[in-house]
Structure 1
Amino acid sequence: MAPRRAGGAVGVTDAAQGPFPDADYLILSSRLIPDLDGGYTIATLARAGQMAERGARVQLLTVDPADAEAHAAHRAEFAARGALRPDTPLRNLFDEAVAPDGGAAEWVRAAAASAPTPGAQADEHRVLTDAAGRPFVSLPVIRGNPDWHLSTAAVRVHGPEGDAIGELPGFGALYRAWLEHVVARLTGPVVVVCESRQLGELLAGWGSERVRLLHTIHTIHLEPPFTPDAPLNPLWTRWFAIADRFDAVLWPTRAQRDDVVARFDGSGRHLVVPNGVPMPDAAADDAAREAGLVVSLSRLAPGKRIDHGIRAFLAADVPGAVLEIWGDGPERERLEGLIRERSAADRVRLMGATTDPDAVLRRASVLLSSSAFEGQGLSIVEALRVGCPVIAYDIRYGPGDILRDGGGVLVPDGDERALAEALHAVLTDAGLRARLSGEARPAASAWSADAAMTALAAAVRAALSAPPRR
C-alpha cells in the first residue's frame, strides 16, 4: 500500500487555560532509576519539573526498596543530567522508614500497631537494614505472581533491638501508611499524581476530603492486534473496574481516551493530558543535518520492531544513506545477527543509548519509527521539535495523533514495503523533505510543555472543584 501523508488538526486539551491551583502536589511512582523503564522515567521526571517551573509545590515519591546509598546515587545522576530540579525533593518510602536510633520509624510502628488485621504469613522475607546493619522492616517475597502487590502477606516491622514488634497486612498497607504520614504534614489541598498502575490499584480506596488522586497513563491498554475492541492487556483488566474511583484519569492521546470512553461506560473523568516536551528557544540549523542519515531512537525491545526498520531501510536502497539505531535492550543480539546476515554493517549501526536525543536528531534527515504500539511516542515529538521529519507506522497510540498536524509520513502498520517507499521518497526528494521539516515544529507545539501543563492544570481544577470520588 502507498504511504499517506499526515495532515489535519488535533488538540490536546479540553479546558480553559490557567495556573496550577494552590495545593501540594505529590507525584507518586513505583521507582525512578536512571536508564530504566525508558520513556516512563523521562516523562515522570519531566512532568514534575514542568509543574515546578510553573509554580506548583511538587514532591516526587517512590517506593522501590533499594538502599539509601542507591537512592542518593539516582538523585545525583538525575540532577547531573538536568532531569531533577534542585528545588524538587525525590523521596523514597524506605529511606524514610528508618528510625535514627534503629528499627522502623515511628509512623511505621504506629501503622502496624493500628492495623485492623494481621497479615498472612509468607514463607520468605527480604530483610531491609539501615546503614548500621540493623533491620527495620522485612518484606514478604512473593514469587511467580504478577499480582504480588495485592498480597496481604505480612510486612514485619522491627524495633530498635531488631526484634519484630508488629505487622502490616501487605505492601498496600505500608504504602498507604507512608502517604498518610506525608499528607499529614501538609496543609490545605493535596493532589496525588499516580504514575503507576500497580500503585493506583492499591490507592483506589484511599484518601481524604482534601486529597485528590489523578492517575496518569503511559502505555497502551490493548493486546494484539491493538484494535479498539482487542483483548485487554491482563494487567489492565482489573484496573478498568476501578477507574471511576480516580478523580481524573489522564490519557496521553485523544485517540486512546476516545477508544476507552467508547468501549467502557465513561462514568469516570477521562481527560487528555499529554507528556509535554519542552520546545527549543531557537530553530535547529538545518544545514547541520547529514544527508541520508536515518535515525531510530528507542529501547531495543520486541515491541519496537527495529528489525522492520532495518529491512525497510535496506529495501529503500538510497545510495550513501546510513541508519543509526540509538538505544539498548534485550533485542540487541538478535539485531546484530540480522545486520550480519544482510552484510549491512557499513550502512546500519547500533549506536547504544544516548542521554542527548536532541544532538542525535539535529543531525538526522529522518526519524524512523516501526513500533507495534506506543503510549504517546516521545521520540516523535522530540524529532519534530527540532525540525526532523518522521516516518512511522500508523499504530495505536501516538503517531497518528502527533503527525495529523504534518511533519511526517504515516504508513500502514506492519507494511515494510510502504515503509521502504516512504523512506526512499523522503530521502531522495529535497522539496518533500523541506516541506515536512517546515511543518514539524508547528506540529510539535501541540505537544509542548506549555500545552501539557495547561491541560494538567485544568484537570486539577476540575478535580478540586468536585467531591473526592473515594
Structure 2
Amino acid sequence: MGEHMLALAAAYRPVADVSLLCRPTEGGRCLLDRAAGLGVRTTALPRPRDPAFGDTIVDFLARHPADVFHIHVGTGRENFDGARAARRARVPLVVQTLHQPWLLRHPAKRAALLRAITPVDRLIAVSDAQRRTYERAGVPTASLTTVPNGITARGRGPGRCAARAALGLDPDQLVVMTVGRLTEQKGQRYLVEATPELATRFPGLSVVVLGEGHLRDDLVRRAADLGVGDAVRLPGHRSDARLLIDAADVFVFPSRHEGMPLAVLEAMQAGLPVVATDVLGTAEVVADGETGTLTPPGDPRALAAAVAELLSDPQRRRRYGEAGCRRYLERFTAHRMATETLAVYDEALGGPRLPAAAART
C-alpha cells in the first residue's frame, strides 16, 4: 500500500501540490521520510481510534485546501474517520482505493463497510476480481472502478552473484525465493511444506523466505520438523528485498488471497519466472504458461511440482522471465496506474484539474 501511495505521489509531484498523511508506525515513518524526499508535504496522524484523528485531518486541510482527498485502506471498513473528516473540510472529491478483496461474511461487517464508504465519491479496486467481491457485498457498481496496481522500475539490480553474496548463498546453487509479511494470508507455510520434495530432487537447493511477521517461529519449527531446516532460510525483513530477488532462480508467491500483489509485479519487472497461487488478483498478473505457473492455493504438492518443473528447465525459466518483464512494461507500470487514477479524479470532478490544481494522496 505504501509503495502504491509513493508511486502516485512521485507521478503527481512535478505538476501538483501533493501531501501525504499517515500514522508514524515503523513502516509509516519510512513512508513519510521517503515522501518528504520527493518534495511531498507530510504529516503524521494519530491512531484512527484517537479522538484527535479526524480533527488533525480537518485542521491540516484548513491550512492546505485540497481538490482531491485520496484514502488507501485494506477493505474499507477500517476507515474510521478519514472520509468524514475530508467531508467536514469540504474537499470536493473523496476517493478511496481498496487494496484487499472483500471476503468477510458477517452481516455486521458488511454493514460497517457500507456505512464507511457513504462519504466516499469514488472507490478504486486494484483488480477486476477484487472489484467483483465488493459488488457482491452490495457496494454500488457505479461508484467502483478498477485501476490495476503498477510499480516503478527499480533500475539496475545488483545481479545474481552480488545478491547471493549479500544473503550468504553459493553462486551455483538453485534458489527459490518469496517475499512478504509472514502471515497466514501470504501462505509461506505451503512453500515450506513443499520444500522436502524439492530438496530431495535438487540437492543444495535454498528456499529463501524474505519478510518478518508473527509466524516466523512457526515457520522455523515447521521446516525443522520436516527435516529441511538447513534448506529454508528466513533472513527477516530486508529493506533491499527488491534488489535481493536477483538471487533467485524462481520466485514463488503462495498467497491465499490478494488484491493485486506488488511482490509479483516486482519479480516480473526483474525478469524472474513466477510460480503463484491461482487466487484473486494474482491470476490477473501471472499469465499461466507464459510468464509463470498458477497452482491451486493451499496445495504444497502442486506448488512443489510447478517449482520443480521450472528448476529443471533453465530455458523455460529464461523464457518466462523475459515474457514477465514485457507484461510488466505493457500493463503494470506506475505511469499507467497514475494516468488511470488521474482519469478517475478528472471524471469525478467534471474535467481536468491537474496540473493546475492540487492532488492529495
Shorter chain as denominator, the TM-score bin is 0.7 to 0.9
Q: 1:313–1:423: 8 Å Cα contact kept in structure 2?
A: no
Correspondence for 1:183 among 53, 57, 61: 61
Are the counterparts in 2 of residues 49 and 85 from structure 1 also a CA contact under 8 Å? Answer: no
Q: 2:102 aligns with which of 221, 225, 239?
A: 221
Shift of 1:47: 3.3
Report whether the alignment pairs 1:409 with 2:288: no
Structure showing greater radius of gyration is 1
Does 403-412 or 346-355 show the bigger shift? 403-412
CA distance in 1, matches of 2:90, 2:189: 51
Which residue of structure 2 lines up, in the alignment, with residue 255 of structure 1? 129
- Kindly, what percent of the aligned residue pairs are identical? 23
Paired position in structure 2 for 1:56: 16
TM-superposed CA distance for 1:83, in Å, is 5.7
Note the alpha carbon deviations across 1:399-455, whole angstroms, 9 max, x for none.
Answer: 101113842110112222111110110000122111101111112221211111011
For 2:114, the equivalent position in structure 1 comes to 240
TM-score by length of 2: 0.81
CA separation in 1, counterparts of 2:259 and 2:38? Answer: 29
The 5 Å alignment of 1:34-45 reads: 40-45=1-6
What residue is the counterpart of 2:357 in the other structure?
none
Distance 1:283 1:210, change over 3 A: same
In the other structure, the counterpart of 1:296 is 178
Residues 55 and 210 of structure 1: CA distance in aligned 2, closer, same or farther (over 3 Å): same
Q: Secondary structure at the match of 2:96?
A: strand
RMSD, aligned α-carbons: 3.1
Compared CA separation, residues 239 and 263, structure 1 to 2 (3 A): closer
SS at match of 1:57: coil
Q: 2:283 aligns with which of 400, 413, 416?
A: 400
Whether the aligned pair in 1 keeps the contact of 2:114 and 2:139 (CA below 8 Å) is: no
CA distance in 2, matches of 1:457, 1:428: 44
- One-letter amino acid matched to 1:343: G
**Cα distance change of structure 1 residues 78 and 283 upon mapping to structure 2, 3 Å threshold:** closer
Cα distance change on mapping 1:88 and 1:265 into 2, 3 Å: closer
8 Å contact from structure 1 (residues 272, 455) kept in 2 = no
Normalization by structure 1: what TM-score? 0.64
* Aligned partner of 1:269 among 125, 143, 149: 143
The structure whose residues are more often helix, as a share, is 2
CA contact (8 A) 1:243 1:268 kept: no
Once the 2 structures are TM-superposed, how far is the Cα of residue 296 of structure 1 from its aligned partner? Answer: 1.3
Distance 1:78 1:242 in 2: 25
The alignment partner of 1:374 has SS state of coil
Give the alignment partner of residue 337 of structure 2, picking from 452, 457, 466: 452
- Structure 1 residue aligned with 2:92: 211
Question: What are structure 1's unaligned runs of at least 5 residues?
Answer: 1-39, 95-138, 140-147, 150-169, 224-230
* Mapped partners of 2:134, 2:110: distance in 1: 12
Aligned twin of 2:69: 192
CA contact (8 A) 2:95 2:122 kept: yes
2:356 paired residue number? none
Q: Give the distance between the partners of 2:271 and 2:151, measured in 1 at CA.
A: 14
Runs (5+) with no aligned partner, structure 2: 165-170, 352-361
Residue 168 of structure 2: aligned partner: none
The match for 1:367 among 251, 263, 271 is 251
